[in-house]
């Protein structure tokens, strides 16, 4: 326990590791709580309790502190009834307990109409969109990336165009996707695909290129050729690194979810977020954003655990 906390590239004890992991969540939560509950830190607005003689103030209205003070000064000078209020944060920043309540209510509220969905059903829709987008992208992107990383000819034929295309913003293809693929899940999956695929090819190709040349030379010396070299040496050699790439890319796919679901008919978790934002229920909006974060993190933890079992020889897969 006397070892230093900050030693370059030295492993920490398991206790310290878990402590820091917990703190990485506790600290932001602490900042959020401080900003929410301690009035003098931020609270740039005032919630009116009594409007006093300010003609446009209403009970419950939020006004900027400067405006509130100014109106008070004016009224005080004239000796009229002063407004009162408490300092508060803008409606865009709900407090942690409000978001926690919203999170619970969002899941426990029963659908009121026949064609309405439970929140978890909407979430399942979103997860399906992500899954298919990522699956289809990987189905083509991974083999293409491996080939491009192995054979210079494939690399020269594909990568310049892929490099070009990856700069095109995926959401810009929304209207085209709707025109070709309809209004339901297909255009949304297409946006996730476009957002993921081109990065994927490049990342996979680069990882494949990093394969230890000694392995290839040894295999060539031992007489391995073409298909054998590819399937027996290259792919097994990069598999664990590719697995790690895929975990990162899956996170990438998630970030396209909201723009993808804005296209065509409203659906999934995005429907919930945009609708609640329209009516300024930001506690619900933050709750939904949290859900996405939790799902993403959980998936990643499961994949990491799986990775440790699939590639026991790879210590770096532990990250």
Partner 1 sequence: MYKPLKRLFGALVGIAMLGMSAQALSEPLKIGYSDWPGWVAWEVAIEKDWFKEEGVDVRFEWFDYVASMDAFAAGQLDAVAMTNGDALVTGATGARNVMIIINDYSNGNDMIVARRGINSVADLKGKKIGVEIGFVSHLLLLNALEKNGMSESDVELVNVPTNETPQVLASRNVDAIVAWQPSSGQALNMVPGATAIYTSADEPGLIYDVLAVSPTSLSANRDAWVKVARVWYRVVDYIQDPATRADAVSIMASRVGIAPAEYEAFLDGTKILTREEAMEFFKKGDGFTSLHGSSKIADEFNVANDVYKDPQPVDDYIDASITGAL
DSSP element (H, E) containing 88: strand 84-88
Phi-psi sector, 117: left (phi>0), alpha (psi -120 to 50), beta: beta
Judged by CB under 8 A, which of 18, 74, 105, 275 binds partner 1? 275
Residue 39's alpha-carbon distances to 159, 204, 269, in angstroms, are 54, 50, 33
Cα torsion angle, 110, 115, 120, 123, sign: negative
* Per-residue interface string for the shown chain with partner 1, residues 135-174, x marking contact by CB under 8 A: ----------------------------------------
Minimum CB separation from partner 1 for residue 134, in Å? 15
Interaction of residue 294 with partner 1, rule CB under 8 A: no
Judged by CB under 8 A, which of 57, 134, 173, 254 binds partner 1? 57
Interaction of residue 86 with partner 1, rule CB under 8 A: no
Interaction of residue 313 with partner 1, rule CB under 8 A: no
Q: Taking contact as CB under 8 A, which single stretch among the options 8-16, 23-31, 247-255, 271-279 is the one that binds partner 1?
A: 271-279
Residue (63 or 249) nearer to partner 1, CB: 63
Judged by CB under 8 A, which of 43, 63, 142, 146 binds partner 1? 63
Judged by CB under 8 A, which of 216, 277, 289, 303 binds partner 1? 277
Judged by CB under 8 A, which of 28, 39, 44, 182 binds partner 1? 182
Interaction of residue 175 with partner 1, rule CB under 8 A: yes
DSSP 301: H
What is d(CA 24, CA 35) in angstroms, rounded to the nearest whole number?
A: 18
What is d(CA 163, CA 159) in angstroms, rounded to the nearest whole number?
A: 6
What is d(CA 262, CA 197) in angstroms, rounded to the nearest whole number?
A: 20
Interaction of residue 178 with partner 1, rule CB under 8 A: yes
Cα torsion angle, 16, 294, 288, 100, sign: negative
Judged by CB under 8 A, which of 183, 215, 289, 303 binds partner 1? 183
Residues 6+ apart with CB under 8 A from 227: none
3-state helix, strand, coil in the chain (%, to 5): 70, 5, 25
Which residues of this protein are in contact with partner 1, per CB under 8 A? Answer: 56-57, 61-64, 67, 91, 112-116, 175, 178-179, 182-183, 262-266, 271, 274-281
């Amino acid at each position: 326990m006397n070892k230093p906390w900050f030693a370059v590239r030295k492993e920490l004890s398991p206790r310290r590791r878990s402590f820091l992991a917990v703190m990485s969540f506790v600290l932001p939560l602490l900042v959020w709580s401080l900003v929410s509950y301690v009035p003098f830190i931020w609270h740039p607005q005032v919630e009116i309790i009594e409007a006093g003689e300010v003609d446009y103030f209403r009970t419950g209205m939020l006004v900027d502190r400067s405006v509130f003070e100014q109106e008070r000064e004016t009224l005080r000078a004239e000796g009229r009834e002063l407004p009162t209020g408490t300092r508060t944060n803008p409606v865009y920043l709900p407090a942690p307990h409000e978001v926690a309540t919203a999170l619970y209510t969002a899941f426990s509220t029963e659908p009121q109409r026949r064609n309405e969905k439970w929140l978890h059903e909407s979430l399942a829709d979103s997860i399906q969109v992500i899954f298919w987008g990522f699956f289809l992208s990987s189905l083509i992107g991974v083999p293409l990336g491996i080939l491009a990383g192995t054979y210079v000819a494939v690399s020269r034929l594909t990568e310049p165009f892929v490099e070009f295309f990856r700069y095109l913003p995926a959401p810009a293809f929304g209207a085209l996707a709707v025109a070709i693929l309809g209004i339901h899940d297909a255009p949304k999956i297409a946006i996730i695909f476009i957002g993921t695929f081109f990065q994927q090819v490049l990342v996979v190709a680069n990882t494949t290129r990093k394969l230890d040349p000694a392995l290839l030379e040894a295999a060539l010396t031992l007489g391995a050729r073409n298909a054998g070299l590819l399937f027996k040496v290259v792919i097994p050699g990069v598999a664990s690194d590719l697995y790690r790439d895929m975990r990162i890319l899956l996170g990438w796919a998630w970030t396209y979810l909201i723009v993808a679901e804005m296209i065509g008919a409203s659906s999934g978790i995005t429907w919930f977020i945009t609708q609640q934002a329209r009516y300024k229920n930001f506690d619900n909006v933050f709750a939904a954003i949290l859900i996405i974060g939790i799902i993403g993190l959980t998936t990643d933890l499961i994949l990491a655990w799986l990775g440790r079992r699939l590639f026991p020889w790879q210590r770096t897969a532990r990250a």
